[in-house]
Amino acid sequence: MKDASQSADATPDPPVNTPTLATPVRQRSVLLITDDQVHNGPDGPTARLASTRLRLLVALRALNDHGHRATLVANTTPEHIESARNFADADHIVIGKVFQDYRALADHARRRGKIVTLDVTDDLARYRTLAPMHALTEYADAFTASSEGLAALARTWTKTDAPSYRVDDPFADVFQPVGGSLGRRPLRLVWFGSPTNARYLNPQMPGLIRLAGQLPLELSLVSTGVHLFQGLMERYRDGLAGLTVRYSEWSPDNQRQELKHADLVILPGDLDADSALKSANRLITAIAAGRFCVASPLPAYEALSDYAMLVDDLATGIEAAAQMVSADVDDAIRSGQEFIARAYSPALIGKRWVEILTQVGASVPRP
């Protein structure tokens, strides 16, 4: 949290390239593509990957709500998509997270006068599994990105002058009542995220072990792939030195339950790695769940710094949070939820998707 002498803007700084909201000039036909697994949930379509849930599905709903024709295809092959009617009819192709070779599809789309936008949520040059996406950068007419850092990085991936736009991730669930007890012992901590983010836990573990000697801790890990966390769990399963670690396989329900069980959320990162490029979606999720959070000071978290504790050393932050007046913690979380409702609502972010895709479609020349 910031010092009292510091002030926070009512909303995050607007993205440099985000266009002014306006009424779309004409109906567009947009095809959104991902290799994710998408299925129907109780509240409509949902997906395994956050990049699909918080981005493509938000864009899909907003485009259709604003009078455009949008379709999402998932978990199929590029060849099947190219042969489908919705590909032939589309004038704009938005490619989300994919793991197959889509270069022929992107080239085919451009030769037929379609606009190609690539949505990025990671440094595509860093991860081998994202090599197929990195190969698409030369085919993109525009980029959308989940943070300002990624938007800037995307501009370096191509020799063209393809523009890039930041589109924030919205909050994805209903707001939950403020809960947890920072006076509980052992203090219940929860970390959640993809396995690629888990490596940022390791440098923090010595500090947590030292802290657990005087402040017993229970750490729940919510992710995918239990084998990746086996060593950590085996070392601390029995509560040696006051620290117990357990694992819960990620699902929307399991994440909600673990957040409800927790007293405090921890979100470590590494500014020297690709954490500086991450969006604020996990911190938004924690605050929306009614839980206070101790997190690394990532650029995307700055807009939420009045509602969480941003520190380099998580153990120091946890110890400080445990000594806070509970009424102050509750007020911070409630204020954070109010801020998120204003700045990160699905309706607001969805409208931004509509405006950006409309501007891209109108500005890219095609024969």
pLDDT of residue 24: 42
pLDDT of residue 18: 43
pLDDT of residue 116: 97
pLDDT of residue 271: 76
Rounded to the nearest 5°, which phi and psi values hold at 284?
Answer: -60, -45
Return mean pLDDT, the chain: 89
Same domain, 193 and 338: yes
Same domain, 214 and 111: no
223-247 pLDDT tens trace: 998 888 887 777 776 656 789 999 9
pLDDT of 264 over the 90 cut? yes
Q: Which residues contact 145 (CB under 8 A, 6 or more apart)?
A: 119, 120, 121, 151, 153, 154, 164, 165, 166, 167
Decide which of 313 and 367 is more confident: 313
State the residue range of the domain holding 126. Answer: 29-170+346-363
Paired residues of 69 in beta bridges: 29
Three-state SS at 191: strand
Same domain, 320 and 251: yes
| Run of H or E including 200 | none
Q: Is residue 314 part of a domain?
A: yes
Same domain, 70 and 208: no
Pull the structure tokens for residue 63. 């485009």
Same domain, 203 and 162: no
Same domain, 42 and 88: yes
Pull the structure tokens for residue 266. 């921890």
Decide which of 233 and 61 is more confident: 61
Same domain, 203 and 250: yes
Q: Return d(Cα 283, Cα 60) in angstroms, integer.
A: 24
pLDDT of residue 19: 45
Asked if residue 186 has a cis previous peptide bond (ω within 30° of 0), the answer is yes
Cβ pair 179, 291 in contact under 8 A: yes
Q: Could you please report the per-residue DSSP string of 164-181?
A: EEE-PPPP-S--------
Same domain, 201 and 91: no
pLDDT of residue 172: 81
Q: Is residue 9 part of a domain?
A: no
Residues in the chain: 367
Give percent of the chain above pLDDT 90.
73
> For the domain that residue 159 is a member of, what is the CATH number?
3.40.50.2000
| Positive or negative: CA dihedral 24, 25, 29, 34 | negative
pLDDT of 21 over the 70 cut? no
Q: Is residue 51 part of a domain?
A: yes
pLDDT of residue 25: 52
pLDDT of residue 258: 98
pTM of the predicted model as reported, rounded to 2 decimal places: 0.86
219-256 b/e (C-beta count within 10 Å ≥ 16 → b): bbbbbeeeeebeebeeebeeeeebbbbebbebeeeebb
Give percent of the chain above pLDDT 70.
91
pLDDT of 122 over the 80 cut? yes
131-182 pLDDT tens trace: 999 999 999 999 999 999 999 999 888 877 899 999 999 998 789 999 999 9
pLDDT of residue 228: 82
Same domain, 199 and 336: yes
Q: How many structural domains compose the chain?
A: 2
Q: Is residue 12 part of a domain?
A: no
Pull the structure tokens for residue 217. 């801790």
Cβ pair 151, 165 in contact under 8 A: yes
| Run of H or E including 95 | strand 92-95
Same domain, 350 and 320: no
pLDDT classification of 26: cutoffs 50, 70, 90: confident
Q: Return d(Cα 357, Cα 114) in angstroms, integer.
A: 13
Q: Which residues contact 298 (CB under 8 A, 6 or more apart)?
A: 269, 271, 275, 276, 278, 280, 310
pLDDT of residue 1: 65
pLDDT of residue 2: 44
Q: Is residue 324 part of a domain?
A: yes
Question: Residue 205's CB: how many other CB atoms inside 10 A?
Answer: 18
Q: Where are the beta strands (DSSP E) in 229-333?
A: 243-249, 264-267, 292-295, 309-310
Same domain, 104 and 232: no
pLDDT of 276 over the 60 cut? yes
| Positive or negative: CA dihedral 62, 139, 36, 276 | negative
Report the range of poorest mean pLDDT among 103-112, 263-272, 278-287, 305-314: 263-272
Same domain, 266 and 295: yes
Q: Is residue 108 part of a domain?
A: yes
pLDDT classification of 96: cutoffs 50, 70, 90: very high
Q: Is residue 16 part of a domain?
A: no
Question: Residue 23's CB: how many other CB atoms inside 10 A?
Answer: 9
Q: Is residue 221 part of a domain?
A: yes
Report the range of poorest mean pLDDT among 57-71, 89-103, 280-294, 352-366: 352-366
Q: How wide is the angle at C-alpha 222 spanned by C-alphas 316 and 95, nearest 5°?
A: 110
